[in-house]
Amino acid sequence: MSSPKQMPPEYYQQLEEIQMVDFAIVELNLYLDTHPDDYEAIKQFNSLTYESRKLKKNFEKQFGPLMHFGRSYSQYPWQWDDQPWPWQV
């Protein structure tokens, strides 16, 4: 039995891009907790959130769900338990 399908390079590129955007979102989120009236930061936060959702939507169309319990769609057959799991990526 040969090893399961290898993920294409785009898989890793898109994942890294999602990580980049999500890290900046976490930073801004924590910053905004203590600076609620920083308008520039909120604008940046919203634009990054929009970007993040777009990237994830595009990623999930190609490679299956990133999240479960209704936070991502799945194609047929059920993809949630497909490899690679997060620690196998």
Partner 1 sequence: MSNTYTKYYYPYISPFDPCKPIIRKSYPTPPQMYLGFQPPNLPQFEIKEALYRGTLWPALYSKYDKKDYRGEYDE
Burial class (CB in 10 A: 0-12, 13-18, 19+), 25: middle
Is 40 one of the binding residues for partner 1 (CB under 8 A)? yes
Q: Report the nearest approach of partner 1 to the CB of residue 4 (Å).
A: 28
CA torsion 20-26-45-62 (nearest 10°) is 40
Place of tokens 């990133």: 66
Task: Calculate the alpha carbon distances from 84 to 25, 53, 68 in Å.
Answer: 25, 21, 15
Site for partner 1 in 10-29 (CB under 8 A): 16, 19-21, 23-24, 27-28
- Of 8, 13, 35, 62, which one interacts with partner 1 (CB under 8 A)? 35
Nearest-approach distance from CB 80 to partner 1, in angstroms:
27
Q: Which is nearer to partner 1, 35 or 68 (CB)?
A: 35
Interacting residues toward partner 1 by CB under 8 A: 16, 19-21, 23-24, 27-28, 31, 34-35, 38, 40-41, 48
